[in-house]
Structure 1
Amino acid sequence: MDRLTIPSPAVDMTGRKHSYGWLTPALVANVQFRGWTDDGKLRHASYKGLREDTDEAAVFKLRR
């Protein structure tokens, strides 16, 4: 992942108070979660691994 490191997030992350490492959005992860919070965060998220069968351009958040 060292070659994917970038200095700032690829999306707006206002209100975050923690220090993170940022990567170019080129990998697709399989994440299981219970739902979305009112402020747009994942509820009870669990990382399940990287997906190699999906193009990152095909991944998006459904808006209801």
Structure 2
Amino acid sequence: QDRLSRCSLQCSDQAKDALDSGGSEPRVRGQLDACLATCGEQHLRLVPAMAKKMRDGLASIQQ
């Protein structure tokens, strides 16, 4: 959860920097949307490993 928050904050920072540098709002919005989508995709790939850790942790408690 913290990783996803940091990633989205980085996307927001990049968008703000682009706007401050004179980027057009529609273009920057597109870049922000793409960045956020990438964050989501990267973190969705982490779910199986996280679920395995949770299952393993629960299994060790039940023993």
TM-score category (smaller protein): under 0.3
Whose helix proportion is higher, 1 or 2? 2
Provide TM-score, normalisation by structure 2.
0.22
TM-score (norm 1): 0.22
Larger Rg: 2
Q: Which has the higher strand share?
A: 1
